[in-house]
């Protein structure tokens, strides 16, 4: 594999970790990650599920949501804020609907897995299943992948802390509205959309802030609502260095328009209304009473006809898109999730990932093998 191939990232990822990089065997990364979580109470099966989205991000070249999250999990466990043995309860509240809650310290990844399992079970019986989770989530793709593995459609909507000002406003009151949708295909990789309803994810802005870099135009506003490319006008750097997230500016919604604002607002409101959770601004101010929530939905196409026919129809749709004429300089027409899945598959096949040297050294120190 060439250096250019090793450094390849997903199309929407404008940010890049600076400094030296090292090539690491994936088997070594998995081993160290499992041992770090295992010594903090995670079973092998739990560690595998929790580590997968982290290592997937690494294989996709997104190091802002990669190895540092292992250290974050270890820190939470050491403080007693993450307990892998915490009880998770499921309660069916109506035909096709369930609520999922966990004891204090329950892993958000394991909560999300239980919720999607419940939604899929309900969908298998009713054609559709909705699980209301009394918790926010991190990366959403793993949960729609669960539905896809059973040839179901998966949809996940989650709340986040306030980091988006309402249209015409200055103060961040809305979350960035994370949403993921997965649609199964036949011969093609599934269609997976996992994104926030803002011009950029927060993680890229925070990485730029830590690295002292400017960000591209049109992504953030300062505390007065003016466009800026200085991340320190979006986030409090002193708080960030202390491990706290204090947003002082605002992320731009999709398209910087009334339509992007409307989408963001609606997807902030849906989990709040169904989870009976707190609005985004209470979390940002540290006064959460009920916390944030998430919605996990599974739809079984088999309820409406033969699944193979649905998958063939999705394949035909993709084939038609990819066969269209392309603009000069465009190598291929891609669909959501295609490039990220290809990068992950190729790097898993290659068995080697390139990671920031500083992150790898920190992980080794945490593991005790530096």
pLDDT 10s digits, 176-207:
999 999 999 999 999 999 999 999 989 889 98
Three-state DSSP class for residue 275: helix
pLDDT at 285: 45
Both 163 and 147 in one domain: the answer is: yes
Both 120 and 159 in one domain: the answer is: yes
Both 92 and 47 in one domain: the answer is: no
- Confidence band, pLDDT 50/70/90 cuts, at residue 10: low
Instruction: Tell me the C-alpha distance between 300 and 128, whole Å.
Output: 6
Both 58 and 145 in one domain: the answer is: no
The mean pLDDT value of the chain amounts to: 92
pLDDT at 65: 82
Both 117 and 155 in one domain: the answer is: yes
Q: Does 296 score more than 60 pLDDT?
A: yes
Classify residue 295: in a domain, yes or no: yes
pLDDT at 242: 83
The phi and psi torsions of 132 (rounded to 5 degrees) equal -95, 115
What's 93's domain CATH number?
3.30.1370.60
Both 66 and 101 in one domain: the answer is: no
pLDDT 10s digits, 316-327:
999 999 999 999
The phi and psi torsions of 193 (rounded to 5 degrees) equal -105, 120
* Longest distance between any two alpha carbons in the chain, whole Å: 56
Both 146 and 194 in one domain: the answer is: yes
Q: Does 16 score more than 80 pLDDT?
A: no
Classify residue 345: in a domain, yes or no: no
Instruction: Tell me the C-alpha distance between 176 and 271, whole Å.
Output: 13
**What are the tokens at 61?**
């070249």
Q: Does 8 score more than 60 pLDDT?
A: no
Instruction: Tell me the C-alpha distance between 33 and 64, whole Å.
Output: 17
Cα first-last separation, the chain: 27
Classify residue 215: in a domain, yes or no: no
Both 46 and 21 in one domain: the answer is: yes
Both 92 and 131 in one domain: the answer is: yes
pLDDT at 123: 97
- Confidence band, pLDDT 50/70/90 cuts, at residue 143: very high
- Give how far Cα 209 sits from Cα of 64, 230, 287, Å: 12, 8, 26
Classify residue 147: in a domain, yes or no: yes
Which of 303, 326, 343 delimits the end of a domain? 303
Both 78 and 159 in one domain: the answer is: no
| Contact (Cβ atoms closer than 8 angstroms) between residue 251 and residue 164 | yes
Helix, strand, coil tally for the chain in percent (to 5):
45, 20, 40
Q: Does 86 score more than 90 pLDDT?
A: yes
Classify residue 19: in a domain, yes or no: yes
pLDDT at 9: 54
Both 94 and 74 in one domain: the answer is: no
The whole domain housing 64 covers: 3-82+356-367
pLDDT 10s digits, 234-289:
999 998 888 888 999 999 999 999 999 999 999 999 999 999 999 999 875 444 55
Classify residue 207: in a domain, yes or no: no
Number of domains in the chain: 2
Three-state DSSP class for residue 208: helix
Q: Find the DSSP H helices in the chain.
A: 3-6, 26-38, 44-59, 68-78, 108-126, 141-149, 202-210, 237-241, 258-275, 280-284, 307-322, 338-350, 357-367
- Containing 106, the helix (H) or strand (E) segment is none
Q: Does 73 score more than 70 pLDDT?
A: yes
Both 105 and 70 in one domain: the answer is: no
pLDDT at 11: 57
* Residue scoring higher pLDDT (60 or 13): 60
With b for 16 or more beta-carbon neighbours within 10 A and e for fewer, the 72-82 pattern comes to ebbeebeeeeb
**What are the tokens at 19?**
């400094």
Classify residue 209: in a domain, yes or no: no
Average pLDDT over residues 43-49: 98
Classify residue 235: in a domain, yes or no: no
What's 14's domain CATH number?
1.10.1530.10
Average pLDDT over residues 348-365: 94
């Amino acid at each position: 594999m060439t250096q250019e191939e090793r450094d390849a990232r997903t199309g929407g990822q404008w940010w890049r970790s600076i400094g030296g990089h090292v090539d690491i065997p994936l088997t070594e990364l998995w081993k160290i990650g499992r041992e770090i979580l295992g010594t903090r109470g995670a079973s092998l099966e739990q560690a595998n599920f929790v580590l997968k989205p982290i290592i997937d991000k690494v294989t996709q070249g997104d190091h802002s949501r990669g190895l540092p999250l292992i250290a974050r999990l270890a820190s939470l466990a050491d403080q007693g804020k993450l307990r892998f043995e915490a009880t998770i309860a499921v309660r069916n509240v109506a035909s096709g609907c369930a609520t999922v809650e966990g004891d204090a310290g329950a892993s958000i990844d394991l909560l999300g897995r239980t919720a999607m399992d419940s939604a899929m079970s309900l969908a298998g019986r009713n054609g559709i299943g909705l699980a209301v989770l009394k918790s926010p989530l991190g990366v959403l793709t793993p949960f729609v992948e669960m539905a896809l593995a059973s040839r179901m459609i998966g949809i996940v909507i989650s709340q986040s802390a306030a980091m988006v000002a309402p249209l015409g406003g200055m103060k961040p009151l809305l979350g960035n509205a994370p949403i993921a949708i997965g649609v199964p295909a036949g011969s093609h990789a599934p269609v997976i959309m996992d994104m926030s309803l803002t011009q950029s994810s927060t993680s890229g802005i925070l990485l730029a802030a830590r690295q002292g870099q400017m960000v591209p135009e049109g992504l953030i506003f300062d505390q007065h609502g003016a466009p800026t490319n200085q991340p320190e006008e979006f986030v409090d750097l002193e708080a960030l260095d202390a491990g706290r997230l204090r947003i002082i500016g605002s992320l731009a919604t999709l398209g910087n328009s009334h339509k992007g604002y409307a989408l963001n607002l609606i997807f902030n409101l849906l989990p709040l209304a169904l989870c009976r959770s707190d609005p985004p601004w209470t979390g940002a101010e540290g006064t959460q009473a009920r916390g944030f929530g998430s919605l996990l939905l599974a739809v079984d196409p088999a309820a409406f006809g033969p699944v193979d026919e649905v998958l063939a129809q999705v394949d035909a749709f993709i084939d038609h898109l990819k066969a269209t004429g392309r603009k000069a300089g465009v190598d291929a027409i891609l669909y959501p999730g295609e490039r990220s899945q290809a990068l992950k598959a190729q790097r898993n096949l290659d068995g080697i990932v390139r990671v920031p040297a500083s992150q790898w050294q920190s992980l080794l120190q945490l593991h005790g093998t530096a």
